[in-house]
Amino acid sequence: MKTNKLEIMVCMGTGGIAAGGTEVLSAFESAIKKLKIPAKLKKGCSVHKVGCRGLCARDVLVDIIIKEKKSTYQYIKPDMVQRIVDEHIVGNQPVADWLATEDYHNFHEKQVKVVLSDCGNINPESIDAYFAVNGYEAAKKVLTLMSRQDVIEEIKRSGLRGRGGAGFPTGVKWEICGGVKNAQKYIICNADEGDPGAFMDRAIIEGNPHSVIEGMIIGAYAIGAGKGYVYIRAEYPLAVERLRKALEDAGKKNLLGKKILKTGFSFDIKVKLGAGAFVCGEETALIVSIEGQRGMPRAKPPFPVHSGLWGKPTVINNVETLANIPHIIRKGPDWFASFGTEKSRGTKVFALTGKVKNTGLIEVPMGISLKEIIYDIGGGMDKGRDFKAVQTGGPSGGCITADLLDINVDYESLAKVGSIVGSGGMVVLDDTDCMVSIARFFLEFTQVESCGKCVPCRIGTKRLLEILDRITAGKGKEGDIELLEELGKDIKASSLCGLGQTAPNPVLSTIKYFRPEYEAHIRDMKCPAAVCKELIEFTILEELCKGCGACVRACPANAIKGEKKKPHTLSSELCVKCGSCFDVCKFGAVKKE
Amino acid sequence: MINVTIDGIKTSVHRDTSVLDAAKQCDITIPTLCHHPKLTPYGGCRLCIVEIKGINRPVTACTTPVSEGMEVTTSSPVLEKLRRTTLELILSDHPNDCMVCEKAGDCTLQELAYFYGIKENRFAGERRVYEKRDGNPLIERDMEKCILCNKCVRVCDEVQGVSAIDIAYRGFRSKVCPPYERDLDCEFCGQCIRVCPTGALTGRMWSLKGRQKDIREVDTICPYCGCGCNITLDIRKNEIVRVTSKEDTINEGWLCSKGTFGYKFLNDPARLTKPLIKYKGKFRESTWEEALGLVAKKLLKTKEKHGPDSIAGLASARCTSEENYLFQKFMRAVIKTNNVDHCARL
């Protein structure tokens, strides 16, 4: 890798741009320009954008590398740029106050970055930057030195399993499709990432689009596909833009198109934008969506590897799966298999969110314990609160409780406790999270996103939601929990596709681990986490109230009365339970229960 | 041929047969609401689920092809419980107004509800309510009764090739409708009415004229064109209530808009029932003998006076091939002219 004498890297993933990355980048550009660096030294200077490096909460993040020594700044605004340039670049004295703190580095330390290794380090809009990190070497090796069977064997040996959620062995999928005789085959990259809070695939495409394209070239060669599609959701405009640019650049370099790299292999990729339906991430729905029909799943078999897009054999791989491929080819299947557990090899990217200190995108070896993720990488619970549960796998997943924190994060272990790895959502919950509300949140999502084709999913999830609605509204009935369980199991057993078959999971798993919380809502009319509005009550504790009047000013309903410096009173009749008084009281005098 | 065992009955069926059809061949009925033998299998209603040895979850019989040695169970406590839940869910979002429904007595959903004895509903909740009525003149579309079996969408696309309707929206709000929920403006072939398993689609013309149990069926041939589709007239009190067609006929039960809806003239007071002869500028009623005699006389007279080629004959596409054959024979052999043509060439 060519080392620059001076390299300034500004995080410009979606998070970075939202925090003002574009302005920070141009501030650096103009500040550097003003420095009047001699032309011969200028070659060694580079100011450029990079993709997401995970800790978006600290954006804008800026790396400054001077003579291979890297310093990282956090929370950078355009008006801070001049000082950094003056003191750090000119004066060679980093601005200590603005440098990323220790927990930023802790966040990264335990991670093992494979697919994210170059995200945040290279300019995603430059194919030369990808070349500089051995980009397209794997494709070149495959096309010139390896047979189709060799490639499939390597991937099989690596143990790579689909990262979209189901965890099907990628090599086996390629082998089946490769074995089907048909002159026309397709490979599709599934970038219709839709789980609430999940942004793994977006970050990969925004940060290193060429790695996905390279994975697709290799996959296409292995199965004998002449055409590929990237099905990407239209809500990812930046990813789409960078992907399109990358495809264009790859085409210009003859990495796509006819007779790639002067071999006999021709392959091209089209981008197809999704129209915003979650269910189109399901492979059969995705296929009909590309064909121009309403995205609704169909029964399998036939599987896409036999009859997929336009009825032709089709392999559908997730973004993260494909981004792993070049690394496996370059560094060998044994290297890849050295990460992870026996049945779950390699690394997995997770979107760590919720009540941990450091939320963001992380990549960890399979088999790492939940505890390590939450306490070492995530920096522990935010605001020192108590850990309650972690929800994995998004709307298809389930909860894992405190006593299971030591389990390994891999496909089998999570399935054993009733959750899933899924596409990689990981929401950490604390004692202020109501589990009934969490289940309700996910059901609300799946219920709206059901395609409407099959009865159990279309009407069943609606009924589940209605029952949860009444429980959280304090109108739950005896027998509701049993009804939820019964209906949930029936929906799982009789739904057509993965959406319906997994939609009740958040309900069933919260009932399994937090049944008393459900019972408290129904029998005691209490929400133990004090979340469900209809079930909580605010009161002012006379002995703690100093009569400062902060709550009076904050209350939008004029429900609090009282003289200055004397304990106030709160009228429960007028109270709209907004919680403003609770939030503003400095003396803990407002009680919520 | 593929050997399968269904509920213990050993049978062999053609390759590509679905489990549902294979069961039918063994006289085993599996409940279904979304399947139609002539449409692409859909797998949406989830009632035809069966257990197959070696597969760990129930699969829909309509979408699963048979394979050698397959062992199928079509009814078990687990399956019946799931079917019951599914039916309850459908009924929880269906107007409970069978007593005034056109389709009562001929409704698959009603029949299944009866056989499964669904009186109480554990899942009573919000029901879709649609205020808007479709303004088209022929097809009554009560989308509150729609169970989204998709048969109408498929018949419109796969059989009629029109694609006038599809499912819009998602989840519980899913609804079959024309683009942008405009009023239906299609060919009005009525095929959708024919395949609808509930009272969601009915003919406006036969509203409140009599349900299936009240009618007498008369099989006949459609008089409109030369295709000769088999039609069945549903008659009550000596009046045609509606026109249907049976599936085991030459037209496989499909009809066009004229066959389906074009019967109103039959009981119209303005309908001609006797030939009319124009005399001194005014029509008067006549008999067939007199009218045909007059035509023959005039034709002969013209032929004698001006020659056969002064006469030309134009036949109608509504006639059968046999009738058109006779017509040209008449023109050539009797009138002795080749001046004969057909309206379809105009």
Helix ranges (H only) for A19-114 are 21-34, 39-42, 81-84, 102-109
In the prediction, which pLDDT does A3 show?
47
pLDDT higher than 60, residue B234 = yes
Q: What is the pLDDT of residues A55-84, one digit of tens each?
A: 988 999 999 998 888 999 999 999 999 999
Scan for tokens 């397209």, then name that residue: A136
Segment holding B141, helix H or strand E: strand B139-141
List Cβ neighbours of A399 (8 Å cut-off, separation of 6 or more).
A389, A390, A391, A418, A419, A429, A435, A438, A506, A509, A510, A513, A514
Nearest to A462 among B57, B60, B172 (CB): B172
Are the C-beta atoms of A377 and A352 separated by less than 8 Å? yes
| Contact (CB<8Å) B89/A466 | no
B251 plus B300 within the same structural domain: no
The pairs formed by B276-285 with CB atoms below 8 angstroms and a separation of 24 or more are none
Nearest CA distance, A463 vs chain B (angstrom): 6
Nearest CA distance, B263 vs chain A (angstrom): 36
Q: What is the mean pLDDT of residues B196-207?
A: 95
For residue A297, which residues of chain B lie inside 8 Å, CB to CB?
Answer: none
B294 plus B267 within the same structural domain: no
Closest residue by Cα to residue A520 from A535, A541, A499: A535
Closest residue by Cα to residue B247 from B155, B318, B314: B155
Distance in angstroms (rounded) separating the CA atoms of residues A96 and B9:
82
Measured CA angle at A399 (ends A395, A403), to 5 deg: 170
Domain membership of residue B159 (yes or no) is no
| Contact (CB<8Å) B46/A494 | yes
Distance in angstroms (rounded) separating the CA atoms of residues B177 and B146:
11
Distance in angstroms (rounded) separating the CA atoms of residues A282 and A295:
9
Q: Is A447 on the interface with B (CB under 8 A)?
A: yes
A448 → chain B, closest CA residue:
B171
For residue B123, which residues of chain A lie inside 8 Å, CB to CB?
Answer: 459-460, 463, 487
CATH number at residue B216: 2.20.25.90
For residue A490, which residues of chain B lie inside 8 Å, CB to CB?
Answer: 81-82, 85-86
Q: What is the mean pLDDT of residues B245-256?
A: 94
Nearest CA distance, A464 vs chain B (angstrom): 9
Closest residue by Cα to residue A272 from A230, A314, A215: A230
Query: Residue B125 half-sphere exposure, CB side, CA atoms within 13 Å?
Result: 18
A446 → chain B, closest CA residue:
B171
Q: What is the mean pLDDT of residues A295-316?
A: 95
Q: What is the mean pLDDT of residues B139-159?
A: 97
Q: What is the mean pLDDT of residues B22-46?
A: 96
| Contact (CB<8Å) B170/A450 | yes
Phi, psi of B167 (to 5 degrees): -85, 130
For residue A453, which residues of chain B lie inside 8 Å, CB to CB?
Answer: 42-44, 148, 150, 167
A501 → chain B, closest CA residue:
B57
For residue A294, which residues of chain B lie inside 8 Å, CB to CB?
Answer: 166-167
For residue A486, which residues of chain B lie inside 8 Å, CB to CB?
Answer: 85
pLDDT higher than 90, residue B298 = yes
Are the C-beta atoms of A557 and A530 separated by less than 8 Å? no
Among B75, B96, B118, residue at a domain's last position: B75
Are the C-beta atoms of A364 and A131 separated by less than 8 Å? no
Strand-pair category, B239-244 with B230-236? antiparallel
Domain membership of residue B188 (yes or no) is no
Q: What is the mean pLDDT of residues A184-201?
A: 94
What one-character DSSP code corresponds to residue A87?
A: I
Nearest CA distance, B203 vs chain A (angstrom): 26
For residue B19, which residues of chain A lie inside 8 Å, CB to CB?
Answer: none
A280 → chain B, closest CA residue:
B170
3-state SS class at A57: helix
Nearest to A458 among B59, B65, B174 (CB): B174
Split at pLDDT 50, 70, 90, the class of B346 is low
Domain membership of residue B106 (yes or no) is no
Closest residue by Cα to residue A118 from A29, A208, A192, A32: A208
| Contact (CB<8Å) A483/B122 | yes
Split at pLDDT 50, 70, 90, the class of A4 is low
Among B75, B100, B133, residue at a domain's last position: B75
A562 — alpha (psi -120 to 50), left (phi > 0) or beta? Answer: left
Are the C-beta atoms of B261 and B282 separated by less than 8 Å? no
Q: Establish, for the pair of chains A and B, how many residue pairs have beta carbons separated by less than 8 Å.
A: 107
A443 → chain B, closest CA residue:
B171
Distance in angstroms (rounded) separating the CA atoms of residues A230 and A267:
13
Nearest to A449 among B58, B85, B170 (CB): B170
pLDDT higher than 90, residue A495 = yes
| Contact (CB<8Å) A452/B170 | yes
Split at pLDDT 50, 70, 90, the class of A266 is very high
Q: What is the pLDDT of residues A132-169, one digit of tens each?
A: 999 999 999 999 999 999 999 999 999 999 998 889 99
Nearest CA distance, A467 vs chain B (angstrom): 9
Strand-pair category, A45-50 with A62-66? unpaired
Helix ranges (H only) for A47-109 are 81-84, 102-109
List Cβ neighbours of B296 (8 Å cut-off, separation of 6 or more).
none
Q: Is A454 on the interface with B (CB under 8 A)?
A: yes
CATH number at residue B49: 3.10.20.740
Q: What is the pLDDT of residues A405-458, one digit of tens each?
A: 999 999 999 988 888 888 899 999 999 999 999 999 999 999 999 999 999 999
- Taken in order of first residue, the domains within chain A and their CATH numbers are 6-102 (3.40.30.10), 134-337 (3.40.50.11540), 347-430 (3.10.20.600), 435-523 (1.20.1440.230), 537-592 (3.30.70.20)
Q: Is A450 on the interface with B (CB under 8 A)?
A: yes
Q: What is the pLDDT of residues B38-59, one digit of tens each?
A: 999 999 999 999 999 999 999 9
Structure tokens at A31: 């500040």
Q: Taking an 8 Å Cβ-Cβ cutoff, which residues of chain B contact chain A?
A: 41-46, 49, 57-60, 63-65, 78, 81-82, 85-86, 89-90, 92-93, 122-123, 125-126, 147-148, 150, 166-167, 169-174
B250 plus B311 within the same structural domain: no
Are the C-beta atoms of A270 and A229 separated by less than 8 Å? yes
Distance in angstroms (rounded) separating the CA atoms of residues A271 and A216:
13
Domain membership of residue B32 (yes or no) is yes
B261 plus B287 within the same structural domain: no
In the prediction, which pLDDT does A2 show?
44
Q: What is the mean pLDDT of residues A29-35?
A: 89
3-state SS class at B192: helix
Encode B37-53: b = buried (16+ Cβ within 10 Å), e = exposed: eebebbbbbbbbbbbbe
Q: pLDDT > 90: what percent of chain B? A: 90
Tally helices (H) and strands (E) across chain A: 25, 17
Domain of residue B214: give its range.
Answer: 209-271
Q: What is the pLDDT of residues A330-383, one digit of tens each?
A: 999 999 999 999 999 999 999 999 999 999 999 999 999 999 999 999 999 998
To test the contact with chain B by mutation, choose from A289, A291, A446, A494 the residue with the greatest count of B C-beta atoms within 10 A, namely: A494
Domain membership of residue B237 (yes or no) is yes
| Contact (CB<8Å) A454/B45 | yes
Q: What is the largest CA-CA distance in chain B?
A: 89
Q: What is the pLDDT of residues A95-121, one digit of tens each?
A: 999 999 888 989 998 899 999 999 989
Domain membership of residue B46 (yes or no) is yes
The count of residues in chain A is 593
Q: Is A1 on the interface with B (CB under 8 A)?
A: no
| Contact (CB<8Å) A487/B59 | no
Distance in angstroms (rounded) separating the CA atoms of residues A372 and A246:
36
Structure tokens at A517: 């919380």
For residue A483, which residues of chain B lie inside 8 Å, CB to CB?
Answer: 122
Residues 280-339 of A with CB under 8 A from B: 294, 296, 298-299, 301
Nearest CA distance, B123 vs chain A (angstrom): 6
Are the C-beta atoms of B257 and B189 separated by less than 8 Å? yes
B235 plus B289 within the same structural domain: no
Summary mean pLDDT of chain A: 93
| Contact (CB<8Å) A456/B46 | yes
B86 → chain A, closest CA residue:
A456
From the centroid of its chain, how far is CA A140? 30
Distance in angstroms (rounded) separating the CA atoms of residues A391 and A509:
10
In order of A250, A350, A507, B124, B342, the CA distances from A419 in angstroms are 40, 15, 11, 30, 73
Nearest CA distance, A480 vs chain B (angstrom): 10
Domain membership of residue B257 (yes or no) is yes
Q: What is the pLDDT of residues B157-171, one digit of tens each?
A: 999 999 999 999 999
What one-character DSSP code corresponds to residue B182?
A: P
| Contact (CB<8Å) B44/A466 | no
Phi, psi of A385 (to 5 degrees): -75, 170
| Contact (CB<8Å) A490/B85 | yes
From the centroid of its chain, how far is CA B67? 33
In the prediction, which pLDDT does A474 show?
93
Query: Residue B324 half-sphere exposure, CB side, CA atoms within 13 Å?
Result: 16
The partner residues of B242 in beta bridges, in order of sequence, read: B234
For residue A459, which residues of chain B lie inside 8 Å, CB to CB?
Answer: 89-90, 92-93, 123, 172
Domain count within chain B? 3
The pairs formed by B9-16 with CB atoms below 8 angstroms and a separation of 24 or more are B13/B66, B15/B65, B15/B66, B16/B65
Domain membership of residue B65 (yes or no) is yes
Among B75, B95, B127, residue at a domain's last position: B75
Scan for tokens 């039960």, then name that residue: B253
B70 plus B11 within the same structural domain: yes
In the prediction, which pLDDT does B327 show?
96
B7 plus B68 within the same structural domain: yes
| Contact (CB<8Å) B60/A448 | no
Nearest CA distance, A544 vs chain B (angstrom): 46
Segment holding B13, helix H or strand E: strand B9-13
Q: What is the pLDDT of residues A514-571, one digit of tens each?
A: 999 999 999 999 999 999 998 998 999 999 999 999 999 999 999 999 888 889 999 9
| Contact (CB<8Å) A459/B90 | yes
B82 → chain A, closest CA residue:
A490
Structure tokens at A47: 């100011």
Q: Is A41 on the interface with B (CB under 8 A)?
A: no
In the prediction, which pLDDT does A34 show?
87
From the centroid of its chain, how far is CA A549? 43
Nearest to A454 among B46, B81, B170 (CB): B46
Split at pLDDT 50, 70, 90, the class of A247 is very high
In the prediction, which pLDDT does A531 show?
92
Nearest to A494 among B41, B86, B93 (CB): B86
The partner residues of B341 in beta bridges, in order of sequence, read: B314
Are the C-beta atoms of A465 and A442 separated by less than 8 Å? no
